[in-house]
Amino acid sequence: MNNDETTGLFHDRLREAYEASGMPVKEIAYRSGVKKLTIDNWLTPSKKTMPKVTEAAKVARAIGTTVEYLVFGVEPKAVPERLRKLVDLLSGMGSDDLEAILIMAQTLQERSKKKKPPIQSAS
């Protein structure tokens, strides 16, 4: 596979993941810290530009995929539907709410670790 093919496949996968995310490029730029113009260039087939790995990783994370998928086509591991729903809900929350939920989750995890398994009665 030559460099042009790799760039084209990256572009196709990025566009697919971008469209699936439902986010405007401006939002992806904000979440990833990568300039909107840079992302627009990656989404334009005629530009034939490839990102730095660090930038690709930031954008991949922002749109809910992996850099391995965008660059190499390696599918991300399946995430259970309940976790996907939770991530969708969390992604729309502000930092104060996310911090509160993180504290609640840590508290619940600690509480579940302290629970002892029920004693089995001998019958």
- pLDDT tens-digit series, residues 30-75: 999 999 999 999 988 777 778 888 898 899 989 988 888 888 887 7
Please report the pLDDT score of residue 112 as a whole number. Answer: 85
Domain 3-72 CATH class label: mainly alpha
- The domain locations on the chain are 3-72, 81-114
Instruction: Please spell the DSSP secondary structure of 65-111, one letter per residue.
Output: S-HHHHHH-PPPPP--HHHHHHHHHHHTS-HHHHHHHHHHHHHHHHH
Q: pLDDT band for position 123 (50/70/90)?
A: low
Q: pLDDT band for position 91 (50/70/90)?
A: confident
Residue 49 is classified by DSSP as -
Please report the pLDDT score of residue 2 as a whole number. Answer: 47
Please report, in angstroms and rounded to a whole number, the separation of the first and last CA atoms in the chain. 67
Pairwise pLDDT comparison (109 vs 90), residue with the higher score: 109
Longest dimension (CA), the chain: 74
Tokens of residue 104, six digits:
């609640």
Closest alpha carbon to 9 in 73, 57, 74, 75: 73
The CA distance from 80 to 85, in Å, is 9
